[in-house]
Amino acid sequence: MSRIAYVNGRYVRHSEAAVSIDDRAFLFADGIYEVIEIFGGKLIDEAGHLERLNRSARELLLKLPVGERVLKLILRELVARNGVAYGHVYLQVTRGAARRDHFFPKAGTPTTLVAFAHRSDRAAAEAKAQAGIKVISVPDIRWKRPDIKSTSLLPNVLAKQQAKDFGAYEAWLVDEEGFVTEGSSSNAWIVDADGALVTHPADSGILRGITRARLFEIAAAHQIRIVERRFTVVEAKAAREAFITGATTLVMPVVAIDGEKIGGGAPGPVALGLRAAFHGFAPASE
């Protein structure tokens, strides 16, 4: 079955999906996006993702082309047309196509909305979680508003590639004071000596992960304390456990940082327990 994408009001073959070369996302990375997990054919934490999409749009003075009800219909149609039981849906909104100019396009220029769905390998993801992943630490060179989920991801791409070249899966970004902010495509966590979960405060220095937010509910139900504070790479290397969270990884144990083993070099019970509990708490679309 051919993959189907959505482009500005039309469902088209993925291979034929296209937007103008004048689109602002292509010229200026002037756009926002979201990635939502599909689990059992349902969208996971959809409300949180769409709320964040709206926040990102407000922060960038970008008008969404359709309302939430229509957007939900589009996403469900994509899941159905592509027959995706387990995977992810990606949606992107840009300021539209216009003559290349740093100023915003003239009033009335249509914004661009594209979306597509794809399958993921559940068995491979679970195998990765059981083995754990490696991360490296790199300087955080992003702009000062990573709390906006914009398509301006070049520093993240460079960090991710650096991790791959090192034989790792993820890069943890470190600010000028030596504190870990987050991963290149995930939020960063450690389990301290007291068994508390530690993660960077949800301020303008990180993206407010939807999976990250769901973990607060799961941790409370399991009587696990969460502390929102900054931590260093040195502290992370001495932690009982470490892990990352995100819509594409859920809760993924970290077993090494910069080549140094964490918690004996094997996934810890806290991270694996949180991962196992996740879909029992994260709401699925109807």
Answer whether 180's CB lies under 8 Å from 236's CB: yes
Q: How many residues does the chain have?
A: 286
Which one, of 5, 14, 17, 24, lies nearest residue 112 by Cα?
24
Cα atoms in the Cβ-side hemisphere of radius 13 Å centred on 59: 17
CA 182 from centre of chain: 11
Spatial distance between the Cα atoms of 90 and 92, rounded to a whole number of angstroms: 7
Which one, of 100, 134, 117, 139, lies nearest residue 21 by Cα?
100
Kindly tell me the burial class for residue 212, based on how many C-beta atoms sit within 10 Å of its own C-beta (0-12, 13-18, 19 or more): buried
Spatial distance between the Cα atoms of 150 and 101, rounded to a whole number of angstroms: 19
Please indicate whether residue 144 is annotated as part of the active site: no
Q: Which of 149, 160, 237, 261 is catalytic?
A: 149
Positions marked catalytic: 149
